[in-house]
Structure 1
Amino acid sequence: MVAYTCWHIWKARYAFVFNKVRINHLNVVLAISNAVGSFLAVSCGPEVNRIRECVGQVPGCAPLWFPPPPHFTKINVDASWSKMLCSGFVGVVLRDAEAHFIAAARYHIRAPCAAAVEAMALLRGCELGATLGFYEVILESDSSEAISCLSNSIENGSWEAVPTLTRVKLLGEAFQNCRWSWVPRSANMAADALTSRDCAELCDVVWVDRPPSSLVFVLNNDGLPCPY
């Protein structure tokens, strides 16, 4: 907790001094809470909720999405998969350092397993970010397996997902700066909403500047600005 607190306070002050980015105290607190919560979710299990309360998170509430550092674009991705149909849906949402909506997309994907469709979500996220011309990106997913493979060794992933993860890694290296980030589902709700089979919007559609109606409520629940 001390390390993450000092790190995010230092980053906020650095951005203010050198990049003239106004410090948003709420975003700093959320960044600390999410960083600690994500770390504890992996390493501490049942102790997570107790310790989150010490870093400003409302007791009983899960971490929320928070903006990327200045100049970065955060690309949140998620996927759903049906074993019966061997297919699923991929959702991609892009937002900037001011938490403004940039773009979103929804795709229908055929895949042999859940790990493969999660990898496809990251691939679609990289492709959309590159198409829109962004150079510094954070790819964020709630698939711990996929993010771990990209951060460490792709060979540790399931064999069905390895070919796609290899393509994702290559696309990531084409960006000027690309980071892989795992988040809990509660901090990835916008992308998650696009993967629902009940989503009314068509598949293989990209929304730019204005989000689809099904996303407005979710984006507003992040507590961040959403033009609509």
Structure 2
Amino acid sequence: MAIKLDMNKAYDRMEWDFLEACLEAYGFNGKWIHRIMKCVKGASYRFKINGEMSTKIFVETPRHFEDEHLGLSPETITHAIFHCPWTRPVWFASQLQINHDSNNFQCFGDWILLMEDSLKNQADFHAMGLRIIALTTWAIWKERSECIFQGRPPNPCATVAKLSSSILEDYEGSIQVQDQASNAIRGQQSNRRSHWIAPPQGRVKINVDAAFNKTTCRGAVAAICRDETGAQLMSHSRGIHAPSPLVAEAIAIREALTLILNLGLDHAQVESDNKEIISLIKNGKSRWEISLILQDIHSLRSGAGGVNFIWTPREGNSHAHDLAQSKARSLIFVN
């Protein structure tokens, strides 16, 4: 006799309390949630053996997973998302750079409410911040699930890389929706993002930009690497301290060269919308305000084969500009 059972579904992967908490967080009607949870928790099975039907067997919610990498631990929401040691660097490396203290809240729902209250003070970043939290939570949950069911250790670095791409895609999607809405109101099609020029075949282009707050002398730099087809190979952003916008733009270009060396890219193009810095680099000139950074740039350039520096109008650098602005807003929120 052979029995084949395919039960590796949602019942094995998600705690039902987590599902119910998510439905409540999204604001579904309580009666509807109750009916859905009855369907989830009320599943049963019967077996027919030698023509006789067995009694009903009810499925119980998963209690724990035993894994050589994660150990034996309750599969609660708080544990899966916060208590696992590998999740902390993921949260910190996300766009929000959250360094959370699990003792400040009792459960995942309490933490979401705390974050919601914090985001209310950042009206221009509220929606984006919530989406980043959702994407980060999903990335952690998916990685944990794959770790358990594929028998491999969790990989925080890979999770952060996937998360970075997801956040950028989400942000670009929201920008496109806003552009389409604006176009409908104006009755014309926007060409805001149609000016990026692809690099020659076999080469990559890194667009860089900086966002700067003159009041706080804080900001962010961003870099987006794409190939000749326009496909994004990677993106990077981080917060900085700088005395002026020019210094911030110079740091962004230095960041791009560091990425080129770390990734081992040959004959890359670095594109910026700051005409003054591109001119200084090309002509080998300097300016006292950024003289030390320019020295770093020339030193890094000598170690990276065949790097070209290109100026582009703001329209051709909109993706890097948006990423830098988003990172700068998130830093304002965190602090």
- Judge same fold: TM > 0.5, yes or no: yes
Match of 1:110 in 2: 241
TM-superposed deviation, 1:153: 2.7
1:26 alignment partner in structure 2: none
**Cα distance in 1 between the residues matched to 2:270 and 2:191:** 27
Rounded Cα–Cα distance in structure 1 between residues aligned with 2:225 and 2:215: 30
- The structure where strand makes up a greater share of residues is 1
Normalized against structure 2, the TM-score is what? 0.40
2:206 pairs with 53, 56, 75, which one?
A: 75
Identify the residue that residue 96 of structure 1 maps to in structure 2. 227
Cα pair 1:67 1:96 within 8 Å, conserved:
yes
Residue of structure 1 equivalent to 2:301: 172
| Residue identity (%) | 29
- 1:142 corresponds in structure 2 to 273
Q: Which residue is 1:188 aligned to? A: 317
Could you tell me how far 1:61 is from its partner in structure 2?
6.7
1:136 match: secondary structure: coil
Moved over 2 A (4+): 58-63, 197-203
CA contact (8 A) 2:192 2:315 kept: no
Say whether the 8 Å CA contact 2:220–2:328 is kept in structure 1.
Answer: no
Q: Which is bigger in relative contact order (C-alpha 8 A, separation at least 6)? A: 1
Structure 1 counterpart of 2:288: 159
Structure richer in helix, relative to its length: 2
| Residue 64 (structure 1) aligned to one of 195, 198, 214 | 195
Gaps of 5+ in 2: 1-188
Change (3 A) 1:62 1:104: closer
CA distance in 2, matches of 1:102, 1:201: 23
Matched, 1:123 2:123: no
Q: Distance in 1 between matches of 2:191 and 2:323?
A: 25
Q: Which runs of 5+ in 1 are unaligned?
A: 1-57, 204-228
Q: CA deviation at 1:198?
A: 6.7
- Name the SS of the counterpart of 1:65 in structure 2: coil
Say which SS state the counterpart of residue 269 (structure 2) adopts. strand
- Return the alpha-carbon distance in structure 2 between the equivalents of residues 104 and 59 of structure 1: 25
Q: Which residue of 1 aligns with 2:27?
A: none
Q: How many residues align?
A: 144
In 2, the alpha carbon distance for the partners of 1:112 and 1:192 equals 19
In structure 2, give the amino acid aligned to 1:135.
Answer: D
Alignment RMSD: 2.5
Counterpart of 2:323 in structure 1: which amino acid? L
Q: What CA deviation, in whole Å up to 9, does each residue of 1:86-112 have, x standing for no partner?
A: 111101000011221100011101011
Q: Whose Rg is larger?
A: 2
In the TM superposition, residue 154 of structure 1 has moved relative to its aligned partner by: 2.8
In the alignment, is the contact (CA less than 8 A) between 1:75 and 1:138 conserved in 2?
yes
Task: Classify 1:140/1:79 alpha carbon distance in 2 versus 1 (closer, same or farther; 3 Å).
Answer: same
TM-score using structure 1 length: 0.58
- Offset, 1:115: 0.7
Task: Rate the CA distance shift 1:61–1:82 in 2: closer, same or farther, 3 A.
Answer: closer
